[in-house]
Chain A
């Protein structure tokens, strides 16, 4: 009979499958940075540390991710085709990036409609098998909002520039944004796919006053983890210890049945007498 291998050998045997990387790891020295442009009607050039990095960056566009060494970066947004970053329309601001983290820098409007920027840290911790993570961020010139999924508020009273996250079963969510305490959508509803093992970030951006509120979506994949186990038997019919359990029970039952049968036949024999 084959013997059960020790776990170490077994893992070695299957580890040949793939070099296993833990759920979303960036590196011990670098960070991932994406940039979202959420200021309506205002194409810009983006300068990082004085160097033109994004040319003619359009509202609603998402750039990156860039794998950058951890550290400080000075970012300035200028009018398109400016000669340099000496006259920024926004910034300069300093972004501090820590190693092994995922960030999204968002240029957006504050609640009152003035251009501003915020560096969000994306939650890339592992998700449970079957689950995806949904993060919602309010970066629109609008009052506090509720986020509705399938018509129900799943996040309440989210104010600019705050965020909220939840893990949920992977699938498609009909997402809408309503002013806090109401259910009449000011954005959407729109179908948002929450993929298994991925972070889906939904931004509400634009301006309520200018009637150009919209949703932007960013995804970060690779957060998945395997199921907790594979439990594939319940009867003991394929057992290799051959003595315990259901087999024994079945055997005992069979013996009892045989015994009962003999008793019955004995009785029958007696009755015939």
Chain B
């Protein structure tokens, strides 16, 4: 009775253990050390599964990928510097004050990362600085090239897939800021109608491009 209940669980443990052995462990800190099989003469059993094991000692922070430093859309005459940015106190993405400077969301992927979307945003305008280069973002066409140069001097080129107006309150941030999926570039600014009372635009203008 007990055995018949345990058997399926054992099989499941063995199967899943095999799968887990092929993947990197969630625990950071390096290469899993497979348990060493004992070579003693005793009839000691060997594990039926291979479980990744790491030392649980504190590890230095992972080396970050080089940050983007320039965003270029040649067809629109846009060539602007990029600074790393984070999150404002209100939870919104931090945006450089000067619309001529774009911000790269530093908690998300960079162009050198293996997966996910590099997100770069800039103000479309400012009461102090006037119109910014991304006022032209709405004119981008699918098929045009966009490139991002990073601090290591590497330029990654993307091809525009879409330019979309999305009401700001409905911006699908979790999709746009995805850390999984194909290497892509998302460029965001504002557009649509303007409400003087709230001093804000109705929409985000969102350009999505994939690595060329």
A interface residues with partner B (beta carbon < 8 Å)? 2-5, 7, 10-11, 13-22, 30, 32, 34, 36, 48-57, 60-69, 71, 73, 80-84, 128-130, 170, 172, 190-193, 195-197, 202-203, 215-221, 224-241, 244-249
The answer to whether B95 has its CB under 8 Å from any CB of chain A is: yes
Q: CB distance B168 to A217 under 8 Å?
A: no
Q: CB distance B91 to A129 under 8 Å?
A: yes
B interface residues with partner A (beta carbon < 8 Å)? 6, 9-10, 12-14, 16-17, 19-20, 25-29, 35-38, 40, 42-49, 51-62, 86-87, 90-93, 95, 105, 107, 116-117, 121-127, 130-131, 134-135, 138, 161-162, 164-182, 184, 186, 188-197, 199-204, 206, 208
Q: CB distance B92 to A227 under 8 Å?
A: yes
Alpha-carbon gap, A21 to B51, bound state (A):
25
Among A67, A81, A128, A241, contact of B19 (Cβ-Cβ < 8 Å): A67
Q: CB distance B48 to A19 under 8 Å?
A: no
For B36, what are the chain A residues with a Cβ–Cβ distance below 8 Å? Answer: 55-56
Q: CB distance A238 to B56 under 8 Å?
A: no
Min CB distance, A215 to chain B, in Å? Answer: 6
Alpha-carbon gap, A38 to B38, bound state (A):
22
Given the known A-B contacts A218-B27, A228-B92, are A53 and B200 also in contact in the complex, defined by CB atoms under 8 Å? no
Q: CB distance B90 to A62 under 8 Å?
A: no
Alpha-carbon gap, A217 to B42, bound state (A):
35
Alpha-carbon gap, A236 to B199, bound state (A):
7
Q: CB distance B49 to A53 under 8 Å?
A: yes
Interface centre among A203, A230, A245 (most CB of B within 10 A): A230
Alpha-carbon gap, A21 to B178, bound state (A):
9
Q: Using CB atoms, name the residue of chain B closest to A243.
A: B193
For B124, what are the chain A residues with a Cβ–Cβ distance below 8 Å? Answer: 232-233, 237-238
Min CB distance, A9 to chain B, in Å? Answer: 8
Q: CB distance B176 to A232 under 8 Å?
A: no
For A50, what are the chain B residues with a Cβ–Cβ distance below 8 Å? Answer: 6, 10
Min CB distance, A169 to chain B, in Å? Answer: 9
Given the known A-B contacts A49-B10, A81-B44, are A234 and B123 also in contact in the complex, defined by CB atoms under 8 Å? yes
Given the known A-B contacts A227-B87, A237-B130, A245-B194, are A52 and B175 also in contact in the complex, defined by CB atoms under 8 Å? no
Q: Given contacts A7-B170, A246-B199, list 14 more A-B pairs with CB under 8 A.
A: A4-B167, A16-B208, A17-B208, A20-B178, A52-B47, A54-B47, A55-B35, A62-B53, A64-B20, A202-B58, A232-B124, A244-B196, A245-B199, A247-B194
For B122, what are the chain A residues with a Cβ–Cβ distance below 8 Å? Answer: 232
Alpha-carbon gap, A11 to B174, bound state (A):
11
Closest 3 CB pairs of A and B: A18-B181, A245-B196, A226-B173
Q: CB distance B138 to A2 under 8 Å?
A: yes
Q: CB distance A234 to B200 under 8 Å?
A: yes
Alpha-carbon gap, A172 to B37, bound state (A):
37
Interface centre among A55, A221, A246 (most CB of B within 10 A): A55
Q: Using CB atoms, name the residue of chain A closest to B36.
A: A56
Q: Using CB atoms, name the residue of chain A closest to B201.
A: A233
Q: CB distance B188 to A82 under 8 Å?
A: no
Q: CB distance A67 to B25 under 8 Å?
A: no
Among B10, B197, B200, contact of A233 (Cβ-Cβ < 8 Å): B200
